[in-house]
Chains A and B, each alone.
Chain A
């Protein structure tokens, strides 16, 4: 299995608080992604990174920011969490030229109360 970890695995937070989720990989893959998964919506791309300090928005980026200061770490921040951001968040990685074959982390279940 690809070496991808996510932390925390579960988190409950209150509306209006900032939250940061961490994705760590040991595969040295250049591309990293953050998705959210909600019932009835499949997986939706939030942000992605194509290198250190190189990031871009995905389909549902409003309310989220990301940072990548090292190849192995990709952080997702909810600046001010809202109940609509309650979801399961997956990080994924892919190698150069192989964006069709992504390896996913175990996921973080976030509940915003």
Chain B
């Protein structure tokens, strides 16, 4: 079977750092994406890791360890607007021109609440 595990809820205070973990068990793995979704909104792409290591994009960083089937999203200098749900998603295929280029399998999401 295919499964992605992430905490259902996380609470942190404004200005702090928070880490959202994601462990996965999938039949195919080509990379790990992260998406943010505010209540009532659409998911938006944050980051993608195909190789081991840390990717930094402003206040957000994402890490991947393929040997541990584990990744995390790190949010620094938390702001109230960061209150949202965060989803990790495994890309289960890659490359090729025709047909599927790998679909995303999403975790159930982590609801982050940022308190003043």
A contacts, CB < 8 Å to B: 31, 33, 40-45, 48, 50-51, 54, 56, 58-59, 90, 94, 96-97, 99-107
Contact = CB atoms under 8 A, between A and B. Distances in A.
Interface string B75-116: 000000000000101010111011111111111110000000
Contacts of A59: 105
22 contacts: A42-B87, A43-B43, A45-B104, A50-B101, A54-B99, A56-B99, A56-B100, A58-B103, A59-B105, A90-B42, A90-B43, A99-B91, A99-B94, A99-B101, A99-B102, A99-B104, A100-B48, A100-B91, A101-B33, A104-B42, A106-B41, A106-B42
A10 to B, nearest CB: 12
Given A42-B87, A44-B106, A101-B48, A96 B42 contact: no
Given A96-B97, A100-B30, 9 more contacts: A31-B101, A43-B87, A43-B89, A56-B100, A97-B95, A100-B48, A101-B45, A101-B48, A106-B42
A103 B50 CA distance: 19
Interface of B: 30-31, 33, 41-45, 48, 50, 87, 89, 91, 93-95, 97-109
Contacts of B107: 42
Given A41-B108, A42-B107, A104 B43 contact: yes
